[in-house]
Structure 1
């Protein structure tokens, strides 16, 4: 399988690509990136040619692509690739507008595979939680809370990161992971969303949100509260203390990642804590599913298996996150109707 990097504006694509080329029969053949310095650095790191215009590769030269251009460019690039029969694995967020999402959904109806690095579905602690829920260990899931604080580090971020139109905002950049996890772990879809976002620590960037909060109403009567931020102190020994608490009718589950990796299942005071995980990062695949994100994508791109994160999941999780951003912008409750 001939693979290209299209867009290298975020370091996530380096980890994604390392996983992809570790799979049998996958060869990285090019890096397409408009920004010359980024293109040269990335192409040199992988020892492949660099080109400025990705469209030169859509003539049958490649079979699949790992995408990480500037966030608001991803929709156009992904649609062009899919329409040319090239399977795509996108860094999150896949799009920054509902219009682009609708175009992506239409393009995903062809033969090429569409996936996105919604990595919680391949994280050891989250997989352990999902298995416990599926086994009925905490009864019916009723509610959940998640937090996703991160370090910002403005000095190491490109200018586009702080521009809402180019980046998409904290809800899309961070909360997308937990919106997807809620749909997966609750096992049902949202029916309404309320949200807010704002800037407190980094108010010098006019359109940048450094924190966001989301409340989701679910079709089975359950609910979820999610918060994310760029407020982790620079002095912290971890990038962010990410957690999720899931409450069911017969018990609860607490997931911790980044600061420490654990999944604690509590059934009326009887606790079981699992800690044997390598970690959920792109560079360190989980013990449960080594290289699982890449393997899932490559297998689907070859037509061998269905995707674990389906195109429908990618679309639905982004749609509800975009609706959350609309709710935050307008101070309203947004429903799916």
Structure 2
């Protein structure tokens, strides 16, 4: 069985990786639809010149594809996801998968009613081979029982290239809903937690007073039955850094620790996907760029077999629920 996908909304560059990785997993892309001409459109057509633009959303929804790839404006992703599921498609959406708790409730109902898969591409885990390697090491007991994670998600603002919706709170969803959903996903995944309590949540605009709708700093403290987690996200990446952000994750276990330097190793080795492992027998840095990205092929298999191996549906719902509730807590306390 050959699977096909359609892209709905090209408002964020994450659609590039979503499309490319599904193509590598053997899924063909039959076309794309997007509202207007977002800034990422030219990059998409350059990378995928063979993918045609469809005349309208109705045509895209009725194209017969198995999977919808959604990277529209964040506040519009829930409605597109629901429409796609109602038209018989499974869904992979860019994060955040939705921007309100009401939207999440509607998505839950659509999944229940249609039996389709709703998957959020948490790319800071699913598109970094070093995260795959860390998963293998944690599962093998390399650092004992995981008791804490520290997730850092700094990003470059790139003000000049940002669309207007990027600075509008109701459209992008807030910094914790958006960026911190990555780190919540990683906390639950590596600690083996089904859910967590939000102990503390905070957002601020420290450096961009001309854009009051932008939150440029956020933090969360989480606690589950077996672990705790700290998350910090921001839009402060300095110009001298060679990429968009020095994203890191530290996983603390009872018998050692792992640090992921995903995108850059400042002052160290070149390239990406650097892993530090320290335990009773090992103290070394591992280059993990060849560890693979199993999420995409597993999702393709889940679509074919109606299984739940790429990411459990309950996990996906829980991540977004926690991100939205942390955002709400930070803005109302």
Provide, for residues 73-106 of structure 1, a one-character-per-residue CA deviation record: whole Å limited to 9, x for no partner.
Answer: 0001101111221111111110000111111112
Task: Work out the CA distance in 1 between the residues paired with 2:243 and 2:224.
Answer: 32
Which position in structure 2 is the counterpart of 1:267?
279
Change (3 A) 1:205 1:269: farther
Match of 2:305, SS? coil
Q: How does 1:247-266 map to 2 (within 5 A)?
A: 247-260=252-265, 261-266=273-278
Q: Distance in 1 between matches of 2:251 and 2:25?
A: 34
Name which of 319, 323, 326 aligns with 1:324: 326
Name the CA shift for 1:136/1:21 in 2 (closer, same or farther; >3 Å): closer
Instruction: Name the SS of the counterpart of 2:91 in structure 1.
Output: strand
Contact 1:193 1:324 in 2 (8 A): no
1:143–1:224 contact (8 Å) kept in structure 2: yes
Structure 1 residue 63 displacement after superposition: 2.2
Match of 1:198 among 199, 204, 208: 204
| 8 Å contact kept, 1:256–1:262 | yes
Whether 1:75 aligns to 2:78 is: yes
Instruction: Note the residue ranges of structure 1 that are not aligned, 5 or more in a row.
Output: 278-286, 332-337
Q: How many residues align?
A: 319
- Kindly tell me: are residues 320 and 156 of structure 1, through their superposed partners in 2, closer, same or farther at Cα, counting changes over 3 Å? same
Alpha-carbon RMSD = 2.1
Check whether the contact 1:39–1:51 (CA below 8 A) recurs between aligned residues.
Answer: no
Task: Write the distance in 1 (CA, Å) between the matches of 2:202 and 2:281.
Answer: 35
Look up the SS of the partner of 1:302 in the other structure. Answer: helix
Mapped partners of 1:152, 1:299: distance in 2:
36
1:107 aligned to 102, 106, 110, which one? 110
State the Cα distance separating 1:305 from its structure 2 match: 4.5
Cα distance in 2 between the residues matched to 1:304 and 1:108: 13
Give the whole-Å Cα distance in 1 for the aligned partners of 2:10 and 2:41.
10
2:122 corresponds to which residue? 118
2:92 alignment partner in structure 1: 89
> Within the alignment, does 1:175 sit opposite 2:180 as a pair?
yes
Aligned to 1:236: 241
Measured in 2, the distance between the counterparts of 1:271 and 1:299 equals 37
* TM-score between both structures, scaled by the size of structure 1: 0.87
The answer for the alignment partner of 2:311 in structure 1 is 309
Say which is worse superposed, 88-97 or 247-256, in terms of deviation: 247-256
Q: Secondary structure at the residue paired with 1:105? A: helix
Contact 1:121 / 1:181 at 8 angstroms: preserved in 2? no
- SS of corresponding position for 1:108: helix
1:11 aligns with 2:13: yes
Judge conservation of contact 1:36–1:52 (CA < 8 Å) in 2: no
Partner-residue secondary structure (3-state), 1:235: coil
Moved more, 298-307 or 253-262: 298-307
CA contact 1:264–1:273 (8 Å) conserved in 2: yes
CA distance in 1, matches of 2:260, 2:332: 32
> Which of 128, 139, 162 lines up with 1:134 in the alignment?
139
Which residue does the alignment assign to 2:29? 28
Query: Where does the alignment leave 5 or more consecutive residues of structure 2 unmatched?
Result: 266-272
Hey, what does 2:154 align to over in structure 1?
A: 149
* Contact 2:250 2:260 (8 Å CA) reproduced: yes
Q: Which residue of 1 aligns with 2:251?
A: 246
Of the three residues 53, 65, 70, the one matched with 2:68 is 65
C-alpha distance after superposition, 1:141-161 (max 9, x if no partner)? 222212111111011111101
TM-score (norm. length: structure 2): 0.88
